[in-house]
Structure 1
């Protein structure tokens, strides 16, 4: 990765989208489907719980999360993944995060330092394995950690799941951390239980951290998707595993910034140490609300039904359009528009100008090949189904008309 490393961080999706659409006027009232921010009201229990604990705003939160919050997370993990009661220690295996972004980023820094200490050749850069397309925080962690980001394309040909096991042994041996996002952002693909288990086994053989980003794990339509703790159930122990999740999507509460990381105590300890220098903590009153949300499944089930309805609305309007496929889970549509427009950037401009709908070109969720300047995201657009059913129906009607008429 030549040039200024800071320059590599400037390639942020929404900045690029604003530049792409500059000067174009939408022909309809604008609808914004480019950001995966839930738009529904927060669950009813949030505000009363925050108000009841408002006095905690006058105190520093515990550095690793409130005991009640971590306890609620540990018990939720056990119930969600069929682990025995008491399998997860809330003191050594769970810590609260401000969402998951900071934890995913800091995990790369910790893992790269850990790998450097264990490698025999200090002149060889540790590797960070990143799916392409991706949530950009993964790539940012590699850049800031002064590691080599090894990008593995997630395409229709491999079911939108990168083949980490196919990498050369020499790369796997110097790998510090591997990111797996399932259900995937932006693709909506779900890794099988066997795939997660095999990847954790690979991490243990080559002594790298498997970071499983499960932010969309509770937005599913048929059966709950597998996760990192299913692999724990199958293989035993949490060695080499860190799992990340939050209430932003499960509970439609992105502003709470309540997330967690859980897993291997031998990894949690240095990660908590790193966070004590540069990590923010969730205010106590918000953690109290987060505790109540992790302990309540009723609102999460209602939230899941809501997203199923939105996906069915999209499917009703877009089924049969070349390049469209229904997501396996999550709330993103990942549509191949190359047949109609050539690439996602051209589609984004047309959808904004002709339909007044702002979406994200798939290229902006990926990193291009430095030689060909092409990426696996180029043919795609990402659409976030996060609004009320009426708005989503209106948007899908407009999008369908443009895609069919292109």
Structure 2
């Protein structure tokens, strides 16, 4: 997913550096701070918003707890949240980015959920591999909602119209570059083979690095790759950009949410990282499909299994007990599992998988079978698990976005952009200690 949607992170000082204008936070019901009410915040596309609202209606019917539901796209989400943390008035429960949980936990603003496990939150319902996705220092600061691996999403209809074979799971980055170029020529003026993913850290850069035996970060929270690595990465995408194989930077402004404005749904590109079928397939009449992100020349996928998004509770939640009940509702209640389906990731438990499988759409079943296949390939990679994103990650990610865009817009050379990234990212990671 895009990095520009995140502003510079700083709970202790000048928060929300990026603009939150136009975020469109939408209240869907009223509620206060009493024990029979909760304020719940999340980000997501149309499908996730509808799923949450349906589930929350069921939660209120079953528990009597009213939920003031607030939602938006990712752009500005954490900026608004940071402002509320600084003002001492955060929501009672909110959707947390797995990659940011350590940053927020380090600031001391998240509730250690240990006291609610297993009495209220039945964490043991989840697969063992994902239970610790929200843990920092061995303490649970968030409960995962799903599991998954970032795929490459593509428009199968466009491939068929262009009479170009769809990518195979054995493809490499060289294959990707060739396909993107062929698609751009076949699709015509103003249309491009792929999204520019030079700024996509977890969905593109991380597997590319892991294929080479490196990673974004190490266990000590430092950068685990070199300037030469990043220069090679930027050079790869710059060549595709100059040849017209990938979209111009102006198109990246609509890539942060699963909406009809996304370049893939708008018919402007044929391939993109950052999204699965469950979010995007309902938005188009075209047939979409997914494939593993291009492999390295050694055949490794470089993928890292994630825990989906998390649900976290602020220390200053006015109804932490109710928030814990809502978390457990999402992971344990059959009706909630049905309502949410795959809107927050691949089923994270056998209970969820067994509940959902009979009613899954073709697109959802494809997401599930892809995740199972990718997990098997990850096991074959025999690579170490990816370290938890360290405190300061958000600013480091924003630095990658800035450097990639400086190159894309022709405002900075690759060496200068690489130097800027390392300067800003290392300062962010060191400053968060």
Q: How high is the TM-score relative to the length of structure 2?
A: 0.28
Q: How high is the TM-score relative to the length of structure 1?
A: 0.29
Query: More strand by proportion, 1 or 2?
Result: 1
